Amino acid sequence: MNTNPLLSVWDTPYGLPPFDKIRPEHYAPAFEAAMAEHRAEVDAIAANPEPPTFQNTVAALDRAGQAFGRVAGVFYNLTASETSDALQAAERELMPRIAAHMSWLSLHEGVFRRVDALYGKRAELGLGAEELRLLERVRLDYVMEGALLEGAARARYAAIAEELAGLFTTFSQSVLGDEAAFRLELATEADRAGLPDFVLDAAKSVASEKGLDGYVINLSPSLVDPFLTYSTRRDLREKVWRAFKARGESCPERDTRPVAERIIRLRAELARLMGYETFADYALVDRMAKKPSAVDELLMRVWEPAKARALEEQKDLEAIAAREGFSGPLAGWDWHFYAEKLRQERYSLDEAELKPYFQLDRMTDAMFDAAGRLYGVGFKEVRGVPLYHPDARLYEVLDPAGGLVGVFIADSFARPTKRGGAWMSDFRSQSRNRPGGLLYPLVINNNNFAKASAGKPTLLSLDDLRTLFHEFGHGLHGLLSNVTYNRLSGTNVLRDFVELPSQINEHWALTPEMLKKHAVHAVTGKPIGDDLIALIKKSEHFNQGFLTVAYTSCALVDMSIHGLKDPEKLDLAAFEAAECARLGVPEAVGMRHRLPQFRHLFSDNGYAAGYYVYMWAEVLDADGFEAFEASGDAFNPELAAKFKRYVLSAGNTLDPAEAYRAFRGRDPDVKALLRGRGLV
């Protein structure tokens, strides 16, 4: 029996990784053994003396690498969710080796010849729709990963992939290091002026995690945003805002700018190797948008009205600031503060008054309830199962007959050992092409909510609530997958389609049915009233200029930097400043993610030349939810069944445009996005 817990049989509930036995030193030997096994399996497919068939080549490839996938699933999840110095050291060592292994696989000539031969006669093979889709996807994967390259170009492609893997790790660890290093201690009553109890509770929890008494502000957005909203200490707001914006460039040993510059240069070189003018051209080949001009057209359609709205909002904020005796230009650390005052004045809606209704546990029940009403699944918490952190909670996902659909893990709170942001991942994807193994998925949602102090409920802002439902939309995409092949499972869809399930799921967070049932005040126990629900609805377009500019500027700068033909002399800071000036980004708004901290772009290739996908998917989600609204029932069972069948359960078995038409009955209307943001 193998003594390495990553390689031994996982005789655990639900086939979970044996978290309590895994140590950082286990990963290197586990990867070595798993990669050797994977190479042997792939070599055997290529060496098969039988002529290539779908089963002995394409389906066999989809099955190969089970051990590698298990080890990698644990490694990727824990380096993001619960890292340590030892695990970060292992990550720096292993990521280039993993990248080399993946390049070996994608450049395997023997396997590609078999796949290519099948692709050339695909019309004669009598394949079903899912099998044909898998063959097409696998062949395209190989082509986009360099399989058609020869000689020195093949070797250079592999070298670039290996170097990029190391750079991605350096970038991510540097930003995490900056976030972990910052702390603002609120030592006096004056330091805490203006902060409501829920902010102080979260700040007390952060202090406790750091082994301190009192109150500490860290750089989690779930704490930064409310601090900027309520603190009357303008000097401290500035300090927090500047630290948040300076992540990635706050100290020389963690300066990400040269790392990002090198990544951009390598991506441009890779694109040229592949025969494309820019990395953006290369990245969009396998997206719904297809080409940068389509992305630019969408973003610019939103950009000008959003910028105009943001400038109007700024004037309104400056007016209320002037009435309170503030003189001077409005700065970035002032926006949230005066926006909250304006919201209270204009809508009589106070975030501090609203937040006690959004208890995390209650809102988790709400998202499960909504999923049950829409898709017929139930959720049952199971305690006592060893997980990787005490904050993580596990739920069985059940069908109406009580059968196990999947397992869902919720990891909700920020901590120094966890990267920022929010994301969905899995430890095991759904697949029926896994002989002898468990076929249902193990899905995880990570959020970074500010945890309340002991004995008090964690309260969510409206943005937090949307994030909770957003990530659970991804979770449902993984949990409700019902396909045969791993490559087509769950969220393995085109990048600008993957955000549709997450973004449309946000709409159910604020439906009156869910709020009246689950939004109960943390102190009084009373359910939220119709008056507050009406105010939430009335104010839904408030501050949309700011939010849209903060996001869209990031998407535009992403497309610009990846549209460079020759970035050899790129200076990241100068480029960012020049692009913001060219676009006319209002200084008081700025980019939500500045380039030195932009994990979406520089932690891997997934969202490079792809940050636009949230807006592309918003066209689909806004148009799609309008169908529910037009039906008069936000939980319309016929529409929900179609969405489940053609989107959530279908994975990548359907072309995304066809999948959307099957659900909606027509192509999406971009005007729904503009209506949803109040920009028309």
pLDDT of residue 168: 97
pLDDT of residue 2: 72
Concerning whether 249 is annotated as a catalytic residue, the answer is no
435: exposed, middle or buried (Cβ count in 10 Å: 0-12, 13-18, 19+): exposed
pLDDT in tens, 270-296: 999 999 999 999 999 999 999 999 999
CATH for 13-106+108-148, options being 3.10.20.30, 3.40.50.300, 1.20.1050.40, 3.30.465.10:
1.20.1050.40
Q: Which two tokens stand for residue 176?
A: 């995490």
Residue 260: closest CA among 574, 646, 652, 670: 574
Strands ordered across the beta sheet of 423-428: 378-382, 393-398, 404-413, 442-449, 423-428
Residue 478: closest CA among 423, 438, 426, 415: 426
pLDDT of residue 436: 86
> What is the rounded distance in angstroms from the CA atom of residue 284 to the CA atom of residue 496?
10
pLDDT of residue 351: 84
User: Degrees (nearest 5) of the Cα angle 331, 336, 339?
Assistant: 105
Within 8 A by CB and 6+ apart from 510, the residues are 462, 465, 536, 537, 540
> What is the rounded distance in angstroms from the CA atom of residue 89 to the CA atom of residue 423?
23
Please say whether the structural domain 253-349+543-611 has been given the CATH code 1.10.1370.10.
Answer: yes
> What is the rounded distance in angstroms from the CA atom of residue 623 to the CA atom of residue 613?
15
Run of H or E residues at 380: strand 378-382
Q: Which residue bears the tokens 């975030």?
A: 351
Please say whether the structural domain 357-538+615-676 has been given the CATH code 1.10.1370.40.
Answer: yes
| Partners of 246 in beta bridges | none
Neighbours of 231 (CB within 10 A): 23
> What is the rounded distance in angstroms from the CA atom of residue 318 to the CA atom of residue 323?
9
Domain boundaries, the chain: 13-106+108-148, 182-246, 253-349+543-611, 357-538+615-676
pLDDT of residue 352: 87
Buried b (16+ CB within 10 A) or exposed e, 569-583: ebebeebbeebbeeb
Catalytic pick among 145, 396, 471, 506 = 471
Asked if 253-349+543-611 and 357-538+615-676 have one fold, the answer is yes
> What is the rounded distance in angstroms from the CA atom of residue 223 to the CA atom of residue 229?
10
The residue length of the chain stands at: 680
Residues 99/162, Cβ–Cβ less than 8 Å: yes
DSSP 138-198: HHHHHHHTTTT--HHHHHHHHHHHHHHHHHHHHHHHHHHHHHHH--EE--STTTTTT--HH
Strand duo 404-413 + 442-449: pairing: parallel
pLDDT of residue 437: 86
Buried b (16+ CB within 10 A) or exposed e, 258-287: ebbbbbbbbbbbbbbbbebebbbbbbbeeb
Which regions of the chain are under pLDDT 50?
none
One-letter amino acid identity for 59?
A
